[in-house]
Amino acid sequence: MLGTVESNALVGEKFRWLKLNPEKEFIFQPGQYLLIKINEGKENSYSICSLPGDEPIEAIIDVDPAKQPLPFGEGTRYINDLKPGDQIEFSGPFGKFTLQNDDTDYKVFVATGSGISSILPLAQKALEDSASIVILFWGLRLRENIFLQDKLEWLKERYLNFHFEIVLSQPDREWDVLSGHVTENVKNWLESKDADSMTEVSVYLCGNSQMIQDVKAVLQEVGVLPDKIYFEKYYEDF
């Protein structure tokens, strides 16, 4: 399928917020991804940061790899150079990292970096479809990497059952909210709850492989049921 780039803004100093208008209706579920053709021999996967029915289709892409010497960062160089009006070829949707009908009291969404691209629409879908308490943790490195704060604040005002935390691993002195690794902050939140309530928690993870491994270990330690932990294996080391 062909799509036309509407915009491709640089946000948070290291992400591209790609907005794409497809040539025809593109049906997907929150949490899924598409494949963008980079060249004749290469396609890269990018999580969709939109809700079904919304146009344009959006994706948040970490373009830091474009700073590395070739052959690294070939895909992100392509994304980085896209301009409004450019046409790209893509396919999809793909992936089974979608919202599950598990009827838990708490739905916890954890992202690092561009993992927010799939986590945010999943959290929005949970807010639309259930009365569960929805908690979103988003781990970033620096204050300069923060964006989407207006949208997160808007969701918090609209839904009384929504709460979010941005966690910085390298905060400046003026940052007085959560810091450190997102894993320890998720653990602190879980440990603040009654142990019996852990069977009423479902968790969705998207980010770097180390975070997923560490958070899964914490979840199992505090008693979250293994079949209530969801994540997508984008890479073999996940």
At the second CATH level, the architecture of 2-94 is Beta Barrel (2.40)
Q: Per-residue pLDDT averaged across 29-50, rounded? A: 95
Can you give the pLDDT at residue 234? 54
Can you give the pLDDT at residue 20? 97
Can you give the pLDDT at residue 232? 76
User: 211 — phi, psi (to 5°)?
Assistant: -60, -45
Judge whether residue 175 has pLDDT over 50: yes
CA distances from 206 to 109, 129, 216, 231 (A): 8, 21, 11, 6
What is the spatial distance between Cα 61 and Cα 49, in angstroms, rounded to a whole number?
A: 10
Can you give the pLDDT at residue 61? 95
Counting residues of the chain whose pLDDT is more than 90, the rounded percentage is 78
CA angle, 214 then 211 then 61, to 5°: 170
Interval 70-80: pLDDT, tens: 666 889 899 99
Interval 76-134: pLDDT, tens: 899 999 999 999 999 999 999 999 988 899 999 999 999 999 999 999 999 999 889 99
Can you give the pLDDT at residue 123? 98
Q: Per-residue pLDDT averaged across 183-202, rounded? A: 89
At the second CATH level, the architecture of 106-231 is 3-Layer(aba) Sandwich (3.40)
Token pair 């207006």 in the structure block, residue: 150
Can you give the pLDDT at residue 154? 96
Residues 57 and 50: beta-carbon distance below 8 Å: yes
Q: Per-residue pLDDT averaged across 5-25, rounded? A: 96
Can you give the pLDDT at residue 160? 95
What is the spatial distance between Cα 154 and Cα 177, in angstroms, rounded to a whole number?
A: 19
Q: Where are the domains of the chain?
A: 2-94, 106-231
Q: Tell me the pLDDT band of 174, cut-offs 50, 70 and 90.
A: confident
Can you give the pLDDT at residue 193? 84
Q: Per-residue pLDDT averaged across 184-189, rounded? A: 93
Average pLDDT taken over every residue of the chain: 91
Q: Tell me the pLDDT band of 146, cut-offs 50, 70 and 90.
A: very high
Q: Tell me the pLDDT band of 66, cut-offs 50, 70 and 90.
A: low
